[in-house]
Amino acid sequence: MMRVKNAGDYRESLQELSPKVFYMGKRIEDVVTHPVTRPHVNSAAMTYALASSRKYQDLFTTTSHLTGDRINRFTHIFRNAEDLITKVRMLRLLGQKTGTCFQRCVGLDALNALYSVTYEIDEKYKTEYHSRLKEYLKYVQSNNLMCVGGMTDPKGDRSLPPSKQIDLDLYLHMSGKNAKGITIRGAKLHQTGAVNSHEIIVMPTIALGEEDKGYAVAAAIPVNSPGITMIFGRQSNDSRKFEEGGMDIGNPRFGLVGGEATIVFDDVFVPWERVFMCGEHEFAGPLVERFASIHRQNYGGCKGGIADVLIGASAAIAEYQGLAKVSHIRDKLTEMIHLTETLYGTSIAAAVEGKPTPSGMFYVNAMLANVSKQNITRFMFEICRLATDIAGGLLATMPSEADLRSPEVGRYVEKYFAGAAGVPAEHRMRVARLIENISGGTALVEAMHGAGSPQAQRVMIYRQGGIEEKKRLALALAGIAGYEKTE
């Protein structure tokens, strides 16, 4: 694998890997140049471009605790609260620069969750998972690789555990084992950035019992390994990516959300040095919980940055339409800002209130991380609703770029979609398409279900809510015998 130093190297490395990717039933030969995947490659490339920029180096790079070398922050193990705070700041800036998902967070969070859990597996069983992971991490850091974290299984009948499914492949599992390694079989769904990553890090998706220990597998696999096939998912208005000009995409350079794919594993071989869990079922639950909490902390950063872009676009279109000074427009923009800063604040709080694990990995405050993501499932919808309110009905009825360029009807579009004070129709249309891109379709689905459904966060919030301790506080103040106030 070539060492990736910058955005150009990143694109070249993907062409070198040439993963097996299908879209609309046909093979994508080059994810870097294909219209449907190119915007997602561009977005992920920003994680390399900004890291190699002198202006942003301190934000996007740090020092490896393993080698002492300067590394991309997306390959770093969190060591303290400042690392987690800096991550959120970095993610917000990336959201501002791309207006979409830049896809590299999931692999970062998978590495951190595994770093802590493999240490604890080794402590109990005297295994070598942690040392293997550290060697793998050195490889990822030295080559500046992008990893996709594979957690979500198809699940089939959700009322049944993995080993009771009619089709045992509905949860990824170990299908074979020998002296050289293991083979794995199954699939991972909704995988953000999979088609333009270098490595796949698979993990269990739920807590597992003894009968399901064959599903307790964590491992790292190159995306072009034999037996791996990826199927790129459809997105709202994705056929617009094939049109000339690109204005109707709304965000033509960086696209919609993160470019999710289904990854199929058809008896994929993994050598032992890349296996980090193999049957230790009691650690599946802690791994899922840590990964989920680390990942949920991100959302106040990345979605905060995207919300910043949406606020700016809403303010611009209000100005274009002669409404910038109207009080209710200002009130709506103020509410959008308030909600955005609330999202950002809870992510920062989850970092500040975090604690180190025995491995040395600094873990977020899980309660606040889940609260942050729970806020995302509500506030992003409200921010998008307000943007749609400000922009008006043209988001749903506006003519196409082809109509604007048409010799026959273009003059009508230019005339009747022009804005206030001589604002050309094209400017108004471009900003409206950007608002449509961010506030419609897959963006809101990702805000709702990314990093787990809203109910998944509510389960963890209740579990970590300290209900019994809060009851003791209340009963002591109420004077209930046995709960007397103590200093």
Q: How many residues does the structure list for the chain?
A: 487
Query: CA-CA distance, 57 to 33, in Å (whole number)?
Result: 28
Provide the residue range defining the domain that includes 432.
294-472
Assigned domain for 339 exists? yes
**Which residue(s) pair with 21 in the sheet?**
28, 230
482 contact partners, CB below 8 Å, separation of at least 6: none
Cα 58 → chain centroid? 22
pLDDT computed for residue 51 by the predictor: 96
**Are 291 and 151 a contacting pair, CB within 8 Å?**
yes
pTM: 0.90
Query: CA-CA distance, 212 to 281, in Å (whole number)?
Result: 7
pLDDT computed for residue 448 by the predictor: 57
Assigned domain for 342 exists? yes
SS3 state at 62: strand
Assigned domain for 168 exists? no
**Are 417 and 429 a contacting pair, CB within 8 Å?**
yes
DSSP calls for 11-58? HHHHHHH---EEETTEEES-TTTSTTTHHHHHHHHHHHHTTTSTTTHH
Nearest to residue 108, comparing CAs of 154, 157, 74, 66? Answer: 74
Kindly tell me the sign of the dihedral angle through the C-alpha atoms of 131, 134, 140, 141: negative
Q: Please give the positions annotated as active site.
A: 101, 105, 192, 260, 295, 299, 302, 446
Assigned domain for 317 exists? yes
CB count in 10 Å sphere of residue 67: 12
Assigned domain for 284 exists? no
pLDDT computed for residue 257 by the predictor: 74
**Which residue(s) pair with 200 in the sheet?**
148, 221
Assigned domain for 395 exists? yes
Query: CA-CA distance, 216 to 238, in Å (whole number)?
Result: 36
Assigned domain for 280 exists? no
412 contact partners, CB below 8 Å, separation of at least 6: none
Assigned domain for 131 exists? no
pLDDT computed for residue 450 by the predictor: 58
User: Which tokens sit at 414?
Assistant: 């230019």
**Are 65 and 77 a contacting pair, CB within 8 Å?**
yes
User: Which tokens sit at 29?
Assistant: 């030969």
Number of structural domains (the chain) is 1
pLDDT computed for residue 426 by the predictor: 94
Mean pLDDT of successive 10-residue stretches along the chain, which has 487 residues: 88 96 96 95 96 94 97 97 97 94 94 98 97 98 96 94 96 97 97 95 96 97 97 87 86 83 97 98 96 93 93 93 92 94 95 97 94 89 91 89 95 93 92 90 56 67 76 75 65
**Are 148 and 197 a contacting pair, CB within 8 Å?**
yes
User: Which tokens sit at 28?
Assistant: 């994508």
CATH number, domain of 406, equals 1.20.140.10
